[in-house]
Amino acid sequence: MTITFSEVPQALRYPGVYIEIDGSQAGLGGDLPVVLLVGQKLADGKAPAGEVVRVSSVADAEKKAGAGSMLAQMAEAYRAADSTFDLFMLPYADNPAGVAATGTITVTTPATASGTLTLYIAGKAVSIGIAPGEAAATATAIASAINAAGADIPVTATSDAGVVTLTARHKGTCGNAIDVRLGLYGEPMPENLVVSIAAMTGGTGDPLPGDLAAQIGERWFRYVALGINDAATLAAWHTESRRRYAVPVQAGFRVFTAFRGTYEQAAAFGETKNYEHISDTWLALNPPTPWEAAATITGAAAPRLYNNPVISLEGTALPGLVADVSYNDFTQGNSLLFKGMSILEVGKDGSVYVKRLISMYQFRSDGSADDA
């Protein structure tokens, strides 16, 4: 058999060992995958809405989408799980016709001794020094502490006559999913202090998806973390995912998103969807926001799926997510897996892991069930 050389001449009869190394066919054969974060930006974010931009760091995400924005928090959550893949974002401005969600904290009985109140908003702690006195003064202290806690707290606060009103930083339904609770880790209350919390609600008007094909362009995003998770947005990304998997594009992606709500709400939402390239994880009514959970799940799953597309992700740790162990309900979890919803597993210490990630695909074109 003739061996073709590039440098060793064929016209060679002088005895000896001649070695040539050809590196033209060498290499690992892979590229560096690119991940896309999709979410809302604040008005002070420098990135133009509707245009894909590179994210070089969490600080860069804060500059481009605004500190405390959905996208800035998604970038931080993603990088906590994966520091390898390239990261881009597709920012959306709040819908001008949208309404921001609100909630209240009402001081019904003021404290009778000084102490510390620990409030958790979206799982982030706010420590509040409480002095004995009137309900109005206590509410003012709570509002001031929330506003002083920094932009990472996804709400702002005002107080009036013993009632603290919380307003989501973003307009839209995303604000309805912001968890507000006391003593996540069992922290004691100041003596005799009684407060009542009304959950965040009333957020309406999510950004319209727009022309995704034009916005995304030709770059191949293998994985997408979807922070905006209303039904219209999921339908638009489903349509685009099918287009990109088909000829002539053939550069498809997997979308990861999350749903916060009761079992009944998750079941009703999931069973009406049929999206083969979208995975939607049920959070129940636990502290993480859906957008941060979506970014964390993407960051944890993407590198493993890239290494081995058929690997089981069960037991994969989801850093930064916290949940109550009561989430581990076999009956509800098994039921949701038949309704296109993915589920988690919660450790005894509240740490969170993947239990099963599935797509939202459930039915053939004739409406019959398909477990493929």
The alpha carbons of the chain give a radius of gyration, in whole angstroms, of: 25
- What's the pLDDT score for residue 133? 87
Supply the mean pLDDT for the chain: 95
Report in angstroms the alpha-carbon separations of 152 from 66, 188, 252, 339: 10, 24, 33, 33
319-328 average pLDDT score: 95
* Structure-block tokens of residue 79: 């990088």
Tell whether 350 is covered by a domain: yes
Are residues 345 and 233 part of one domain? yes
Counting residues of the chain whose pLDDT is more than 90, the rounded percentage is: 90
User: 73 in helix, strand or coil?
Assistant: helix
Report pLDDT for 160: 96
pLDDT at 240: 97
At 2, the pLDDT band (50, 70, 90 cuts) reads low
Q: What is the domain extent for residue 118? A: 100-201
| Residue 175, helix vs strand vs coil | helix
Q: Is the pLDDT of residue 11 over 90?
A: no
Q: Mean pLDDT across the stretch 350-364?
A: 96
Please report the pLDDT score of residue 27 as a whole number: 62
Specify whether 47 is located in the same domain as 116.
Answer: no
175 shares a domain with 127: yes
Same domain, 112 and 251: no
Residue with the larger pLDDT of the pair 255 and 2: 255
- The candidate with the shortest Cα–Cα distance to 179, out of 240, 260, 272, 89, is 260
pLDDT beyond 60 at 290: yes
Q: Which residues have CB under 8 Å from 351's CB, separation 6+?
A: 317, 321, 322
Tens digits of residue pLDDT in 179-220: 999 999 999 999 999 999 999 999 999 999 999 999 999 999
Average pLDDT over residues 74-100: 98
Query: Can you tell me whether residue 135 is helix, strand or coil?
Result: helix
CA distance 323 to 283: 8
Confidence of residue 97 (pLDDT cuts 50, 70, 90): very high
Query: Mean of the pLDDT values across residues 281-285?
Result: 97
Residues 262 and 242 in one domain: yes
In DSSP terms, which residues pair with 102 in a beta bridge?
Answer: 167, 201
Instruction: Among 162, 182, 201, identify where a domain stops.
Output: 201
pLDDT of 16 > 90? The answer is: no
User: CB within 8 A of 345, min separation 6: which ones?
Assistant: 314, 315, 327, 328, 352, 353, 354, 355
pLDDT of residue 244: 94
User: Prior bond to 248 cis, omega within 30?
Assistant: yes
